[in-house]
């Protein structure tokens, strides 16, 4: 293999730049030519390529976002789009492709590989951390620390004014962020898509907590919760308890910012492992980390299998709210 491409696709995640840096520098050290593809799969279709050398990735390890930019590309969901992308990759002589992102990114990679000759390796990069085959996706650690910083600040106000707060965190369809920040931020309760939200029970818990002498209460709501997000839940609780409350939706602040040390190290390890995999002739896998060890998972499994929440952590939420 002589030439590889790298792209970031879907939502950006802090640590993607550290991963691009690792891919470029490890690729160069292995004698490969490395091409950056801008704006995800759209960049293939629009032939938006940039040659990357070791110096082109200087001073990016600490930066959030992605220097390659990203996009969600509908055309790559069509046969026509896949055919066109494969033709362009072939013409460019790109034999290996490393794609950093979540399940949508991996679906695109598999479609390309199945319809052409390009060898693909995926790297999990999503703050949602909802990809099967890795304990942590790049960006998750930074996102939960950013959210936690905000929650701690809100706790100052909640405590001072004896208030009930509903804080909505990201997580399109999963509750990984909510669970971790719920534990780390000392939440009264967490509401996540994986568990049915029972408003009556929530009201009971809140009322009891104030009766036990608590002066404030923080409820973490995952944006994907089936009960409709923080505004709807807060309204339903108000109708029953008539307790003054405030809402804070953390939103995209959780996606930005300088990656934590943990995300930078993970990104560097996964980037290096992805290059090694391609050089060693592997293809069609996502490289992740399970129990501290590099692990390869067939790309299809990353979305066909479901990553489970830590049930022990889930149980702890209630116990620690006592
Ligand atoms: O997948 C990451 C994520 O941040 C989700 O948590 C969120 O629902 C979604 O992306 C938001 O996407 P966009 O930035 O396209 O609105």
Do 129 and 28 belong to one domain?
Answer: yes
| Cβ atoms of 222 and 103 closer than 8 Å | no
**Atom 14 in ligand 1: residue holding the nearest Cα:** 11
Q: At what angle do helices 261-279 and 16-29 cross, to 10 degrees?
A: 40
Instruction: Evaluate whether residue 276 is within a structural domain.
Output: yes
Regarding whether 8 and 134 lie in a shared domain, the answer is yes
What local confidence, expressed as pLDDT, does residue 72 receive? 86
Do 275 and 286 have their domain in common? yes
34 and 182, same domain (yes or no) = no
Task: Note whether residue 237 is domain-resident.
Answer: yes
Say yes or no: 131 and 11 in one domain.
Answer: yes
Whether 205 sits among the annotated catalytic residues: the reply is no
Q: Where are the beta strands (DSSP E) in 125-216?
A: 164-169, 189-191
Same domain, 122 and 216: no
Q: Is position 321 within any domain?
A: no
Atom 13 in ligand 1: residue holding the nearest Cα: 11
Q: How many angstroms does the Cα of residue 71 sit away from the middle of ligand 1?
A: 12
Q: Indicate if 125 and 264 belong to the same structural domain.
A: yes
pLDDT of residue 82: 97
Count of domains in the chain? Answer: 2
pLDDT for 292 equals: 97
Q: Is 255 in the pocket of ligand 1 (CB under 6 A)?
A: yes
Q: CATH number of the domain at 109, please.
A: 3.40.50.450
The answer to whether residue 64 is domain-embedded is yes
- Strand 33-37 and strand 49-52: the pairing is antiparallel
Please state the φ and ψ torsions of residue 115, each to the nearest 5 degrees. Answer: -100, 0
Q: Which residues partner with 81 through β-bridges?
A: none
Q: Does residue 124 sit in the same domain as residue 272?
A: yes
DSSP 313: H
Structural domain includes residue 83 = yes
Q: Is 127 in the pocket of ligand 1 (CB under 6 A)?
A: yes
Same domain, 123 and 12: yes
Whether 288 is covered by a domain: the verdict is: yes
Q: Are residues 46 and 194 in the same domain?
A: no
Edge-first strand order for the sheet with 164-169 is 189-191, 217-222, 164-169, 245-249
Per DSSP, 125 falls in state B
Q: What is the pLDDT along the chain (322 residues), one digit of tens a residue?
A: 999 999 999 999 999 999 999 999 999 999 999 999 999 999 999 999 999 999 999 999 999 999 999 998 999 999 999 999 999 999 999 999 999 999 999 999 999 999 999 999 999 999 999 999 999 999 999 999 999 999 999 999 999 999 999 999 999 999 999 999 999 999 999 999 999 999 999 999 999 999 999 999 999 999 999 888 999 999 999 999 999 999 999 999 999 999 999 999 999 999 999 999 999 999 999 999 999 999 999 999 999 999 999 999 999 999 999 8
129 and 52 housed in the same domain: yes
| Domain presence at residue 320 | no
C-alpha of residue 192 to centroid of ligand 1, in Å: 16
Residue 215 CA to chain centroid, in angstroms? 34
Residue 310 lies in a domain: no
Domain that holds residue 86: 3-139+259-304
pLDDT of residue 232: 96
> Is the C-beta atom of 302 inside 6 A of ligand 1?
no
Pocket residue to mutate for ligand 1, from 170, 176, 307, most atoms within 8 A of Cβ: 170
CATH number at residue 243: 3.40.50.460
The angle formed by the CA atoms of residues 204, 205 and 210, to the nearest 5 degrees, is 100
Write the DSSP string, 234-289. HHHHHHHH---EEEEE-GGGGG-SPPPHHHHHHHHHHHHHHHHHHHTT--SEEEEE
Q: Indicate which residue of 128, 189, 225, 263 is catalytic.
A: 128
Q: Is the CB of 27 under 6 A from ligand 1?
A: no
Are 263 and 125 in the same domain? yes
Here the tokens at position 127 are 């703050």
């Amino acid at each position: 293999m002589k030439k590889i491409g790298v792209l970031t696709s879907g939502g950006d995640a802090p640590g993607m730049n550290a991963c691009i840096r690792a891919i470029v520098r490890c690729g160069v050290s292995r004698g490969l030519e490395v091409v950056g593809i801008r704006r995800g799969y759209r960049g293939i279709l629009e032939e938006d390529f940039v040659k990357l050398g070791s110096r082109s990735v200087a001073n990016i390890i600490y930066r959030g976002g992605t220097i390659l930019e990203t996009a969600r590309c509908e055309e790559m969901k069509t046969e026509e789009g896949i055919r066109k992308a494969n033709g362009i990759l072939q013409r460019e002589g790109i034999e290996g492709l490393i794609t950093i992102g979540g399940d949508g990114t991996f679906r695109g990679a598999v479609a390309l590989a199945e319809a052409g000759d390009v060898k693909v390796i995926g790297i999990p990069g999503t703050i949602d951390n909802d990809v099967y085959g890795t304990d942590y996706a790049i960006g998750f650690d930074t996102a939960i620390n950013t959210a936690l910083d905000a929650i701690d600040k809100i706790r100052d106000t909640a405590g001072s004014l004896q208030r009930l707060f509903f804080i909505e965190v990201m997580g399109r369809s999963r509750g990984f962020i909510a669970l971790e920040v719920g534990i780390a931020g000392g939440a009264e309760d967490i509401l996540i898509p994986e568990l049915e939200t029972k408003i009556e029970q929530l009201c009971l818990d809140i009322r009891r907590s104030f009766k036990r002498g608590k002066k404030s209460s923080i409820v973490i709501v995952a944006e994907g919760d089936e009960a409709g997000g923080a505004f709807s839940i807060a309204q339903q609780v108000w109708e029953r308890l008539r307790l003054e409350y405030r809402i804070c939706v953390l939103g995209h602040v959780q996606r930005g910012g300088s990656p934590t040390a943990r995300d930078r190290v993970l990104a560097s390890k996964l980037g290096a492992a992805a290059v090694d995999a391609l050089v060693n002739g592997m293809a069609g896998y996502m490289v992740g980390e399970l129990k501290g060890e590099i692990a390869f998972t067939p790309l299809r499994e990353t979305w066909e299998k479901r990553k489970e929440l830590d049930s022990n952590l889930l149980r702890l939420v209630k116990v620690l709210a006592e």
